[in-house]
């Protein structure tokens, strides 16, 4: 149905990369969400009042809070679509993360309040009246929430929208919560034991889990998280496909929200190649990423010597030693500066976060092994890369 409404109401509805189209989808799904949740609230509140059920009434209030969340979502799409300005040159797309946090806090407050009222119901149970109307309303609610989950999940992925992903997560938790209420409504009269308060606690747990998951996801986006592996491979394949590229390293990707991705990388080229020709190739690669992936790429050009026998010998030896120390270590930017008394071997070592060895421990291990193979003539000048910080160390070998 959302797809049908999009075709009718959104111009160029299939151009999802267009910020105006993205905003229109956000407005549409948020408006539909508000309408659905208000209707569910009214029906469930009526059913909960008639059946004197705290779990059904709590589920109704949960839907009312979801309507409020949809209002926040609607506002977030308006704010996040604002163009970049002098104070915010990377745009305003992260407003969606902030909106997700607000939604999550509201969900958590609701969950804690529901736990309080449910424990009261457990300690002071009241008779719950069975009603087929309640059963029908709860089944209807489950079907509506499953539909909301499906379209929010689909368009959240297509539009790269954290607030829609959060709404999808909340919708599936609502399905489980309402399912628990339905079980209570049907079973309590059969077993002659009031499950209402207990199921209220179950509903609250689902609500708290959904809120916690949304906060974690929003925090990951705000703090900055590792880029998607498929995106990294796509970037690597595109760069390496150019004639004249000998290698690449130090790829960094910064995500500021949907369609606001920036990246930087070092690209290795032959030092003998005409610098203007290599620079022209770098410009073409940057333009390729901008036009075909919507990615703002900045490339640093590293000329390397691939013809010197001594450099190649030492590079191969050092790369092998780096792998001996730990298979997940990697090396790049290798070069040498010969001298009468010693020769400097200059290179970078990338240390993944899971490796617990310190930079100094790695440096000492490298120096010892180089000394064993080549004697005392070589000094190591190593740059250790850990995430976005760089530490310089020097050691003789």
Residue 65 has pLDDT above 80, yes or no: no
Mean pLDDT throughout 16-30? 80
Two domains, one topology: 1-224 and 228-384: no
Task: Spell out the residues 6+ positions from residue 154 whose beta carbon is closer than 8 angstroms to its own.
Answer: none
The string of pLDDT tens digits covering residues 337-354 is 887 788 889 898 988 888
The reported pLDDT for the residue numbered 393 is 45
- Going from N- to C-terminal start, the domains of the chain cover 1-224, 228-384
Q: What is the pLDDT of residues 229-256, one digit of tens each?
A: 788 888 989 999 999 998 888 888 887 7
- Cα–Cα distances in angstroms (integers) from residue 340 to residues 239, 273, 334, 378, in the given order: 39, 29, 20, 11
What's the rounded mean pLDDT across residues 9-26?
78
Tell me the β-bridge partners of 300.
266
Helix (H, G, I), strand (E, B) or coil at 329: coil
Residue pair 225/93 in contact by the 8 Å Cβ criterion = no
- Is the pLDDT at 396 greater than 50? The verdict is no
When comparing pLDDT for 94 and 321, which is higher? 321
Q: Which residue has the higher pLDDT, 390 or 340?
A: 340
* From the candidate CATH numbers 3.30.1360.120, 3.30.450.40, 3.30.70.1350, 3.40.50.2300, the one assigned to the domain spanning 228-384: 3.30.70.1350
CB atoms within 10 A of CB 68: 15
The average pLDDT across 312-319 equals 92
pLDDT in tens, 44-62: 888 888 877 777 887 787 7
Query: Could you give the percent of the chain with pLDDT greater than 70?
Result: 95
Enter the tokens of residue 298.
């900045």
pLDDT the model gives residue 258 = 60
User: Does the pLDDT of residue 397 top 60, yes or no?
Assistant: no
CATH architecture designation of domain 1-224: Up-down Bundle (1.20)
pLDDT at 259: 63
> How many CA atoms, within 13 angstroms, populate the side-chain half-sphere of residue 151?
18
- Between residues 15 and 286, which one has the greater pLDDT? 286
Top mean-pLDDT range of 191-200, 312-321, 338-347: 312-321
Label the pairing between strands 261-270 and 295-304: parallel
Kindly list the distances between the CA atom of residue 241 and the CA atoms of 234, 263, 269, 285, in Å, as whole numbers in the listed order. 11, 18, 13, 10
90-141 residue pLDDT tens: 777 777 778 778 878 877 887 887 788 788 878 877 666 677 888 899 999 9
């Amino acid at each position: 149905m959302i797809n049908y409404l999009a075709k009718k109401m959104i111009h160029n509805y299939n151009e999802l990369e267009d910020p105006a189209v993205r905003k229109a989808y956000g407005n549409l799904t948020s408006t539909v969400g508000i309408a659905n949740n208000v209707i569910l609230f009214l029906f469930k509140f009526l059913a909960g009042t008639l059946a004197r059920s705290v779990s059904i009434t709590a589920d109704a209030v949960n839907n009312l809070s979801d309507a409020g969340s949809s209002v926040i979502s609607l506002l977030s799409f308006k704010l996040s679509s604002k163009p970049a300005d002098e104070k915010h040159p990377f745009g305003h797309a992260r407003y969606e993360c902030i909106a997700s946090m607000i939604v999550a806090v509201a969900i958590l407050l609701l969950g804690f309040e529901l736990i309080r009222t449910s424990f009261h119901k457990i300690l002071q149970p009241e008779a719950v009246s069975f009603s087929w109307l309640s059963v029908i309303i709860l089944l209807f609610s489950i079907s509506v929430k499953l539909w909301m989950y499906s379209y929010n999940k689909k368009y959240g992925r297509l539009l790269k929208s954290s607030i829609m992903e959060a709404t999808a997560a909340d919708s599936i938790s609502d399905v489980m919560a309402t399912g628990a209420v339905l079980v209570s409504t049907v079973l309590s009269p059969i077993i002659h034991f009031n499950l209402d308060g207990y199921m209220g606690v179950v509903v609250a747990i689902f609500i708290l889990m959904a809120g916690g998951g949304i906060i974690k996801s929003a925090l990951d986006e705000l703090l900055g998280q590792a880029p998607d592996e498929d995106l990294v491979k796509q970037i690597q394949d595109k760069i390496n496909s150019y004639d004249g590229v000998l290698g690449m390293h130090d790829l960094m990707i910064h995500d500021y929200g949907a369609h606001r991705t920036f990246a930087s990388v070092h690209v290795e080229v032959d030092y003998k190649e005409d610098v203007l020709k290599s620079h022209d190739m770098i410009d073409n690669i940057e333009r390729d990423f901008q036009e075909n992936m919507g990615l703002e790429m900045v490339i640093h050009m590293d000329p390397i010597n691939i013809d010197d026998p001594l450099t190649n010998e030492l590079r191969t030896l050092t790369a092998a030693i780096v792998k001996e120390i730990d298979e997940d270590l990697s090396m790049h930017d290798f070069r040498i500066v010969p001298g009468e008394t010693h020769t400097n071997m200059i290179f970078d070592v990338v240390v993944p976060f899971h490796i617990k060895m310190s930079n100094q421990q790695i440096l000492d291990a490298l120096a010892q092994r180089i000394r064993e193979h080549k004697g005392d003539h070589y000094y190591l000048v190593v740059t250790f890369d850990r995430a976005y910080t760089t530490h310089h160390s020097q050691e003789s070998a």
